[in-house]
């Protein structure tokens, strides 16, 4: 354990050194640091970062701020329900008047990595490998894809360029053979992917492009779907907070950039609240009337207006806004650093952000 931590510390030290002295070309002693983080980040990781910033780089101060809050500030609002769908996990955090309600955060492991794993398994089973041939690509012999071909880099490229979220197949979502249903009712185009070395070509069926992201909207009690994750978060909240929060949903994180993601998530909410199963009706009975209040902030899919900020950049842009406005959360100065940092599991969020934002910056 100590060896792994020491290796992590050395890697972080090299990374932060490169950021300051090779990329930014700035003196770390003259710049305060706002660190956008997941509220569930391991405390040992935060302590390691603080140790490097204060001990090695000598930064004057450090603030740990939930990335959900900094992302919300880019919308000009201080109240919202922020869903961060990244690679390792999806987290939903309610924020009310700039206060992150940390005890009510909910998470699910269904995120980008789960989509990659589903894509990998579907390509192995249904994708086709086309070796170099003098024949036209449509006439060349095809065979199953060798597993070693599907490298993480190739899967990530296919996922980011070709996948999208498609609407629910009404009346067929509980069919025993889902793959057959997806294949028979898909209108997506099959695409060919040439390997980087030009040695061969892969055929990616259209229905795989369309339905690999289904894993995000499936789930169970142990790994709830994204829609269930949001509803579980709302269940924890006081009833008077649910309506204003569900009316201000914000999506962030790289996986939320999948085309059709927002529309599909809204469709899932509508289905759950209008046609719940018996189990869902019992569990979410107090939330079923909220479906008409669901609103996504900066809904470019409905309005046709492209958002100014990209979902996976909002957190860092919001941190820049906080820095420019000279507002932050609990700030740790180098002189007062004692080796401990904010632990959201036992600590509390300072009212500094809320008071400053609402009093001095009402537009935020």
pLDDT of residue 69: 94
- Superfamily name and number for 2-71+313-360: ATPase, nucleotide binding domain (3.30.420.40)
Mean pLDDT, the chain, integer:
86
The first and second tokens of residue 314, run together, are 């909002």
User: Would you say residue 362 has pLDDT above 70?
Assistant: no
Q: How many CA atoms lie within 13 A of 310 on its CB side?
A: 7
Q: Give counts: helices (H), strands (E), the chain.
A: 14, 11
> The sheet that has 191-194: what strands, in order across it?
128-130, 201-204, 191-194
pTM: 0.86
- In this prediction, residues 128-133 reach a mean pLDDT of 84
Segments making up each domain of the chain, as ranges: 2-71+313-360, 76-110+216-308, 112-214
In tens, the pLDDT along 244-290 reads 999 999 999 999 999 999 999 999 998 888 888 888 888 988 898 88
User: Are the C-beta atoms of residues 331 and 47 closer than 8 Å to each other?
Assistant: no
Angle between helices 226-236 and 261-274 (to 10 degrees): 60
Instruction: State the pLDDT confidence band at 355, using cuts at 50, 70 and 90.
Output: very low
- CATH topology (fold) of 76-110+216-308: Nucleotidyltransferase; domain 5 (3.30.420)
User: Would you say residue 358 has pLDDT above 70?
Assistant: no
In tens, the pLDDT along 7-27 reads 989 999 999 999 999 999 999
C-alpha 314: how far from chain center: 11
How buried is residue 125: exposed, middle or buried, by Cβ count under 10 Å (0-12/13-18/19+)?
exposed
User: Would you say residue 138 has pLDDT above 70?
Assistant: no
Instruction: State the pLDDT confidence band at 222, using cuts at 50, 70 and 90.
Output: confident
3-class secondary structure, 83 = strand
User: Would you say residue 74 has pLDDT above 80?
Assistant: yes
Which of 35-49, 78-92, 178-192, 309-323 is predicted most confidently?
A: 78-92
pLDDT of residue 136: 67
Asked if the domains 2-71+313-360 and 76-110+216-308 are classified in one and the same CATH topology, the answer is: yes
């Amino acid at each position: 354990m100590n060896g792994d931590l020491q290796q992590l510390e050395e890697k972080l030290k090299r990374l932060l050194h490169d950021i300051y002295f090779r990329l930014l070309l700035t003196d770390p002693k003259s710049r305060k640091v706002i660190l956008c983080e997941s509220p569930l980040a391991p405390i040992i990781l935060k302590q390691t970062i603080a140790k490097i910033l204060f001990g090695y780089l000598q930064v004057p101060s450090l603030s740990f701020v939930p990335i959900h809050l900094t992302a919300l500030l880019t919308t000009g609002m201080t109240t919202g329900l922020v869903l961060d769908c990244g690679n390792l996990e999806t987290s939903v955090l309610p924020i009310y008047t700039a206060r992150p309600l940390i005890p009510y955060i909910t998470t699910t492991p269904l995120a980008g990595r789960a989509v990659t794993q589903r894509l990998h398994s579907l390509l192995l089973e249904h994708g086709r490998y086309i070796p170099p041939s003098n024949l036209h690509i449509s006439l060349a012999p095809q065979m199953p894809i060798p597993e070693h071909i599907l490298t993480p880099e190739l899967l990530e490229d296919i996922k980011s360029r070709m996948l999208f979220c498609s609407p629910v197949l009404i009346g067929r979502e509980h069919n025993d053979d889902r793959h057959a249903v997806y294949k028979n009712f898909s209108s997506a185009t099959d695409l060919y992917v040439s390997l980087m070395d030009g040695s061969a070509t892969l055929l990616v069926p259209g229905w795989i492009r369309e339905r690999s992201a289904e894993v995000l909207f499936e789930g169970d009690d142990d790994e709830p779907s994204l829609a269930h994750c949001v509803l579980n978060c709302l269940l924890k909240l006081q009833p008077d907070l649910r309506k204003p929060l569900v009316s201000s949903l914000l999506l962030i994180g790289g996986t939320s950039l999948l085309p059709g993601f927002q529309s599909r998530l809204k469709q899932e909410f509508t289905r759950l609240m209008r046609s719940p199963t018996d189990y869902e009706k019992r569990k979410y009975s107090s939330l079923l009337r909220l479906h008409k209040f669901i609103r996504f902030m900066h809904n470019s899919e409905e309005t046709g207006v492209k958002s100014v900020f990209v979902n996976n950049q909002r957190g860092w842009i919001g941190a820049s806004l906080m820095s420019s406005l000279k507002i932050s959360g609990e700030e740790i100065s180098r002189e007062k650093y004692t080796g401990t940092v904010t632990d959201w599991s036992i600590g509390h969020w300072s009212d500094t952000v809320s008071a400053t934002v609402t009093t001095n910056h009402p537009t935020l």
